[in-house]
C-alpha cells in the first residue's frame, strides 16, 4: 500500500498547491490513502467546515489538526459529525471530536490514523505516549488485522517526536511529525520497520516565516511589542509531504521518501 502524508497547510497558498498538484501526484505515485494536516488551513489559524469539505472532495481521506484545532469555533459541531477530521487524541475526555479513526481504502484495506500532540513547549495536555499505548493495545498491525497505522505527532520538540517514533517502532507503519513547518532530512525506516520523519514540512509559501508574512513576524522579535496580527504569506505555495510504501503482509514500511513540489524549495519526487 502507498500512503501519502502532507504537512501543515498554511492559508490559501497551501490549499491551492494541494488542489493544483494532487491530480499529478495521483497519476505519478498512485497513493492508496492520503492524509493532510489542515490545522492552519483557514488563514493560518484552524480549519472551517467549508475547507474540510473541499479537502474531502479533492480525494483526501483524513485531515488531522493540532494546537489550532479550535481557532474557528464553527468547527466544533462539524467535528463531532465528521469522523475523517481528527483533533489530537490526548485532549481531555469530553473534548469535541475524536483523535483516532479506522478507514477503508478503495481496495478494501483498513487504515488506522492516530493524531497526537506533544507537550514540550506546547499546551499541557494528557500524556501522548500513554494515549498512543492505549490505542495500540487494541489493534495489531498486519497479518489480516490492520493493514496500516499512521501516527501524526504534532509537536515542537524533535526529541519528543523521535521518542514517539521509537516507542511505536515495529507496531505502526508511519510516524510523521507536524507543527514545525520545516521539512527535515531524516526520512528513514526505523530498526523494527516503521517509517519515520521528524517533520514533513508545510504546504504554503516558503518566502515567509514558517508560512506567515515576514514583516509582522520580524516585528514581533525585534520590537517585543504588539503589532500587526500574523497572517499567511500569499506567494506560490510549496507542497511538502512524505510517501510511504508498506508491505501488504506485515503493514511495515518497505520505503519512505519526501515529496516537495512547487514554490521555492527544490522539487523532490520519491524514487
**What are the residues whose beta carbons fall under 8 Å from the beta carbon of 146, sequence distance 6 or more?**
102, 110, 111, 112, 139, 140, 251
Active site residues: 68
Report the candidate in 38, 61, 62 with the shortest Cα–Cα distance to residue 51. Answer: 38
Three cell numbers, residue 262 = 512547487
- In degrees and rounded to multiples of 5, residue 227 shows phi and psi of -140, -150
What is the distance of C-alpha 231 from the center of its chain?
21
Is residue 149 a contact partner of residue 171, using CB atoms and an 8 Å limit?
A: yes
- Non-local (6+) Cβ contacts of 96 within 8 A are 76, 77, 79, 80, 87
Query: What is the strand order of the sheet 100-104 is part of?
Result: 100-104, 110-117, 148-154, 174-178, 195-197, 188-189
C-alpha cell at 102: 479506522
Amino acid at each position: 500500500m502507498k500512503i501519502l502524508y502532507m504537512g501543515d497547510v498554511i492559508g490559501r497558498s497551501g490549499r491551492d498547491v494541494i488542489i493544483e498538484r494532487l491530480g499529478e501526484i495521483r497519476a505519478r505515485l498512485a497513493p492508496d490513502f492520503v492524509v493532510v494536516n489542515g490545522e492552519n488551513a483557514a488563514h493560518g489559524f484552524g480549519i472551517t467546515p467549508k475547507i474540510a469539505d473541499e479537502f474531502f472532495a479533492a480525494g483526501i481521506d483524513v485531515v488531522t489538526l493540532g494546537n489550532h484545532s479550535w481557532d474557528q469555533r464553527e468547527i466544533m459541531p462539524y467535528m463531532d459529525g465528521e469522523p475523517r477530521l481528527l483533533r489530537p487524541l490526548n485532549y481531555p475526555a469530553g473534548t469535541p471530536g475524536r483523535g483516532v479513526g479506522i478507514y477503508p481504502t478503495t481496495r478494501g484495506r483498513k487504515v488506522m490514523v492516530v493524531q497526537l500532540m506533544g507537550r514540550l513547549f506546547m499546551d499541557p495536555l494528557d500524556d501522548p505516549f500513554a494515549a498512543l499505548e492505549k490505542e495500540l493495545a487494541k489493534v495489531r498491525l498486519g497479518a489480516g488485522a490492520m493493514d496500516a497505522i499512521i501516527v501524526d505527532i504534532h509537536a515542537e520538540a524533535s526529541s519528543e517526536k523521535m521518542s514517539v517514533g521509537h516507542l511505536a517502532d515495529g507496531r505502526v507503519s508511519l510516524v510523521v511529525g507536524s507543527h514545525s513547518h520545516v521539512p527535515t532530512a531524516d526520512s528513514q525506516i526505523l530498526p523494527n520497520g516503521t517509517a519515520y520523519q521528524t517533520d514533513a514540512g508545510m504546504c504554503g509559501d516558503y518566502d515567509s516565516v514558517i508560512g506567515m508574512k515576514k514583516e509582522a513576524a520580524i516585528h514581533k522579535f525585534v520590537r517585543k511589542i504588539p503589532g500587526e496580527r500574523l497572517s499567511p504569506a500569499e506567494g506560490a505555495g510549496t507542497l511538502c509531504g512524505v510517501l510511504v510504501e508498506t508491505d501488504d503482509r506485515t503493514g511495515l514500511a518497505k520505503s519512505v521518501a519526501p515529496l516537495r513540489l512547487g514554490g521555492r524549495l527544490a522539487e523532490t519526487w520519491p524514487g
